Amino acid sequence: MRSHVLNFVKPAFMEFRSLNFLNGAYTTMVDCKKLRTPVEISERKFQDACSKLHSLRSAMAVREKATKHAYHEVTETKKQFLCLGMTMEKLDQLSVVHIAGTKGKGSTCAYTESILRNCGYKTGMFCSPHLVDLRERIQINGRHLSESTFSRYFFEVYDRLLESMKNGAISDMPHYFQFLTLMALYVFLKEPVDVAILEVGIGGQYDCTNFINTAVVCGISLLDYDHEHILGSTLDEIAWQKAGIFKHQVPAITQPQHQKAMNVLIERAQAKNNPLYTVSGNVPGLNKDATNYEPFQLLNISLAIQLARVWLRDHDQENSRKQWFSDCNIQLGSTNLPVLDCDFPDFSKFTRGIKTCHIPGRLQIIKHESVSFYLDGAHTEESMKACADWFLKQCNLEMKSKSSTKMIRVLMFTVTGGRKVKNLLSILKECSFDVVIFLPNLQHNPKVIEDLKELATLENMEHCRDMQTVWYNLHQEISECQYKSTRRNTMEAVSILCPSVNDALYWCSSDVKNLVKPSYKLIGVPALLRGAAHIQLLATGSLLLVGKLLSFLNTDGL
């Protein structure tokens, strides 16, 4: 295998400037000595809010020190909520759809919100992580809050919590995700919304979103191995954590699961005396459109449809939630759940919400003249398999439409959170990439790297080197098995280390160079890239990576 590492030389000059890539134009920040307009004051306050938020402890750092049964996080969140001048009785009035899972819970939230909004209801949605803008996490009617509104609510919550900590009412300020959970619920009560869709952060049982007492309906998307150091190393342990959001006598709906996981969901549902259903993935009018919807997307959509359907039925005062109990009578030890399908009156009202729902960073394609960007934040084995299948199918369709064009495939890859790099790259090696770029989730590097020795001392680049080594070892195994790609010998793939997203993007995409500036003058571009008429670039492994790319490509989806 040929391994090529970029060399970096110090640029002739450095200019410290903040650029905003809005509508494809550069906007340089105003000199701070000049008089600020009201808009600039609003922006400054929003930046102050961002600075305060990032000064809080990270959720992951807190969880790393705690056991996977960190029940205190739920009780602490409840205590902090009460410090906002709220009551649990007031919170119980919020009409909640609570969604957990490993794969697809964010997409399920988005589809559920879009369906209910298109049915005429005022929606609130709390989701994570954000891709481009922090404000994506708290939305009203499918739109993020304005900077001034976000800032106002932020400081109302922050100041009250800070005062409560000083008075000894709480022992510490909430961590990053915990704070945003509190702020989201505070916003939804202040607005107010007809329905609040809450996406669980990690797990469910001990996730800080789970301090709410009740919900109208709970959903469980596909379960997979992720965050095992917190949730457990087996699917039944993970399922136990996710099913922790089940509420007493509240309907719950799940996608089809591995049998071990499904047994745990049934057991926990019976313990809470709540009806549990599953979905079929058969969505009239969408199953035939194979070019737009993958099978796992149809399962997410099916789950969202049924969650919205339960909420609408509960919202209709002429109906009673009790009818769900007569529909679902699961015997102890039974593995057969009632299946909800989409054959019901007025289903057509749901289709607009489905078809108009835009989920950036998930199976997203952005096409430029010389490069097609395929973006998917897959980071578990099952999601990576789906990503690879989707990428290959879309690449083949594109190649047929441009049969005379020389194309090469580029992988832009990184992972976070201690995930199993080898397992993910083993799946991606089947895609026959010509060039693989390993990089950290950085948009720039704070210091100039003059030589390879200094590059190797940086912790983030060491992580990239580790990924590159895994890739090399995988291809050694391929060589021993005399593996041959149907497209080309994958042993010829070039692997490269790059220090930031903007450097990698500038280097491999000639028609987006007006959007980015490299940190360094890059040299040594492989002939494969120099001679390519068109590049098919897959960015995956991390939603943070996808978000960084979207910020450059001017498609933030807000």
Average pLDDT, consecutive stretches of 10 residues, N- to C-terminus, the chain (558 residues) = 36 29 30 38 74 85 54 89 97 97 96 96 96 96 96 96 96 96 98 97 95 97 90 95 96 94 94 92 73 85 95 73 56 66 76 92 90 93 94 92 82 85 93 90 52 49 89 72 42 73 75 58 63 90 92 60
Q: Return the closest-CA partner of residue 448 out of 523, 519, 522.
A: 519
pLDDT at 331: 52
The answer to whether the annotation marks 114 as part of a ligand binding site is no
pLDDT at 241: 96
Distance, in Å, from the CA atom of 483 to the CA atom of 475, rounded to the nearest integer, reads: 9
The answer to whether the annotation marks 128 as part of a ligand binding site is yes
The answer to whether the annotation marks 199 as part of a ligand binding site is yes
Token pair listed for 527:
């002939």
pLDDT at 87: 97
Distance, in Å, from the CA atom of 431 to the CA atom of 490, rounded to the nearest integer, reads: 9
pLDDT at 552: 82
Token pair listed for 446:
């704070």
The answer to whether the annotation marks 227 as part of a ligand binding site is yes
3-state secondary structure of 258: coil
Confidence (pTM): 0.83
Distance of CA 377 to the CA centre of its chain: 6
Q: Residues 329, 331, 336, 337: what is their CA dihedral angle, to the nearest 10 degrees?
A: 30
pLDDT at 519: 59
- DSSP 3-state helix, strand, coil percentages of the chain (rounded to 5)? 45, 15, 40
| Alpha carbon distances (Å) from 280 to 66, 256, 299 | 38, 8, 7
| Alpha carbon distances (Å) from 257 to 73, 144, 254, 300, 320 | 28, 33, 8, 13, 29
Q: Which domains does the chain have, with CATH numbers?
A: 51-59+68-356 (3.40.1190.10), 364-480+490-553 (3.90.190.20)
